[in-house]
Amino acid sequence: MSALSELMNPRRVKIGLKAKDKEGVLKELVDLLDLPEENKEILLEALKRREELGSTGIGRGIAIPHSRSTVIDDIYLVIGVSKEGVDFDAVDGRPVHIFFLLVAPPNDPGSRYLIYLGRVAQLAKKVVENDVDYLSVETPEELIELLSSLEKE
């Protein structure tokens, strides 16, 4: 199984999210995927349904929205950073500043989706434990470099 960093692509990283609410953030992140508009809407609905089950805001400024969808042909990781923070109904009630959106198709030989979801959670834990200053990062490439170095620890 490949490293999580292999899913990281500068075209799917957005520094300076503009959205002020949960739905806006999800839309901004989904917009970074190379999908037809109709498929983006379907994926957005799937992500909103997942959030209704319980917030993916895990606390300490981090959220890991995730879903499976038939409009996705592979596993994708989209990362967004909001310097102001967004109310994402996180478990600790604090605003979320970094979002790791993970999406995958329903047919997933080898359960890669669950494995990658676990890796995202481990990476999020390292971000917190190492008090990583991701808010000062200015480019997608810098964020990928920072997160990739954490993953190797």
Q: Is 97 a catalytic residue?
A: no
With beta carbons less than 8 A apart as the criterion, state whether 144 and 13 touch: yes
Selecting among 12, 14, 66, 119, the annotated active-site residue is 66
Tell me the mean pLDDT in the region 16-25: 96
DSSP state string for 136-153: G--SHHHHHHHHHHHHH-
Q: Which residues contact 98 (CB under 8 A, 6 or more apart)?
A: 61, 62, 63, 79, 80, 81, 82, 124, 127, 134
Tell me the mean pLDDT in the region 125-151: 93
- Interval 50-86: pLDDT, tens: 999 999 999 999 999 999 999 999 999 999 999 999 9
Q: For residues 49 and 62, what is the distance between their CA atoms, to the nearest angstrom?
A: 19
What are the chain's domains? Answer: 4-152 (3.40.930.10)
Given a cut of 80, whether residue 119 has pLDDT beyond it is: yes
Q: Which residues contact 24 (CB under 8 A, 6 or more apart)?
A: 18, 86
